[in-house]
Amino acid sequence: MTEKKQQLEVIRTRHKRDGFTEEEEIQLHNMEAPEDFRNINVVPSVEELLSFERSFLQPNKKGGAYKDAHHYLDVQFRLYREDFVRPLKEGIQDFRKNR
């Protein structure tokens, strides 16, 4: 696992307990997205639905501005997409586990 992915997992784990600190939120928004959101298919692939890998997500900004319009659209697209993909992934994984 790369150092960047390890950092992301540490932040995610802490977030589940306590929420993001302001410093973690800034750190997440300063991270470079792994790919341009415009290249992500709206409909998830079979591989993605069967994968246990987590998506790259950044939280909504509660205060302050986004870097630019591209950054804003990237964050919102990924969050909206995750809202409908995650329940599908979890349902498929539960089905496969409990056949």
Residue 55 has pLDDT above 80, yes or no: yes
| pLDDT given at position 14 | 58
Write out the two tokens for 42: 């709206």
Distance CA 99, CA 97 (A): 6
Domain coordinates of the chain in residue numbers?
3-97
pTM score? 0.77
Q: Is the pLDDT of residue 77 over 90?
A: yes
Residue 44 has pLDDT above 80, yes or no: yes
Q: Flag whether pLDDT at 19 surpasses 80.
A: no
Confidence (pLDDT) at 50: 94
Tell me what pLDDT residue 23 has. Answer: 85
Q: Are 63 and 19 in contact (CB under 8 A)?
A: no
Structure-model confidence comparison of residues 26 and 85, the more confident one: 85
- For residue 38, the surrounding DSSP H or E stretch is none
Closest CA to 9 of 40, 67, 52: 52
